[in-house]
Amino acid sequence: MPVRSLSILTGCALALSATAVLAQDFGTEEDQDYAAQLWQLMLDRDLAGDDAVQAFPYPGTDPHGMMLETFYTRATVDDHSGALVIKRNYGPQGVTVDQVIGDREQHLGAVTIMFRRGDGYAPETNDWFWAKYLPDGSLDEAPDGTPLAGRAKGCISCHSTADGGDLLFTTNADLN
């Protein structure tokens, strides 16, 4: 495992207890409805689904996938515009770029997103909303069955270790 990946995973594990206080309930009906709106928006803009725009995959790490595609855009939901980060997560362990390019559908494990909701949504996490979708657009679930949408504790605990104060590992660009 590359040193950067190991340091990210170690930092995520250490941050779990430190950010538990920041994490609020997630997976509520409101969170699920909001996640459904975001999925539909991504389908409408060809950012998810069978006709989704594609990029060249790059090596990833757990929990996202061994190969990733990441897209940055802006989206509007409920009259609020914000940054939308979409990450397609491919696997399994050992999957190659050529295998993903050859059959993306077979290797797609999940689509994870971060959407910057309106001011005041979650100031302690820069107002980010997280969701983890299965390839069919349904929400993945935590081990206890809670849908992974909203202020997901696992997402917050890991992303709080990203440098730059923006909770993003892939860029420190100003996405506002």
The pLDDT of residue 145 is above 80: yes
How far apart CA 39 and CA 139 sit, in angstroms, is 10
From residue 9, alpha-carbon distances to 14, 29, 137 in Å are: 9, 30, 27
Residue 150 included in any domain: yes
Print the domain residue range for 114: 3-165
| pLDDT-derived band at 172, boundaries 50, 70, 90 | low
The pLDDT of residue 2 is above 70: no
The pLDDT of residue 31 is above 60: yes
Q: Which pLDDT value is given to residue 71?
A: 95
How far apart CA 101 and CA 168 sit, in angstroms, is 25
Kindly report whether the peptide bond that precedes residue 63 is cis, defined as omega within 30 degrees of 0. yes
pLDDT digits (tens, 9 = 90+) for 99-142: 999 999 999 999 999 999 988 998 988 899 999 999 999 999 99
Residue 172 included in any domain: no
The pLDDT of residue 88 is above 80: yes
Residue 109 included in any domain: yes
Residue 173 included in any domain: no
Residue 170 included in any domain: no
Task: State whether the Cα torsion 138-79-166-43 is positive or negative.
Answer: positive
Which of the pair, 153 or 100, is modelled with greater confidence?
Answer: 100
pLDDT digits (tens, 9 = 90+) for 72-85: 999 999 889 999 99
Give the pLDDT mean for 78-102.
Answer: 95
pLDDT digits (tens, 9 = 90+) for 6-24: 444 444 444 443 333 334 4
How far apart CA 33 and CA 28 sit, in angstroms, is 9
The pLDDT of residue 57 is above 60: yes
Structural domain count of the chain: 1
Residue 171 included in any domain: no
Q: Which pLDDT value is given to residue 173?
A: 67
Residue 174 included in any domain: no
14-50 in b/e form (b: 16+ CB < 10 A) is ebbeebeebbeebbeeebbebbbebbebbeeeebbbe
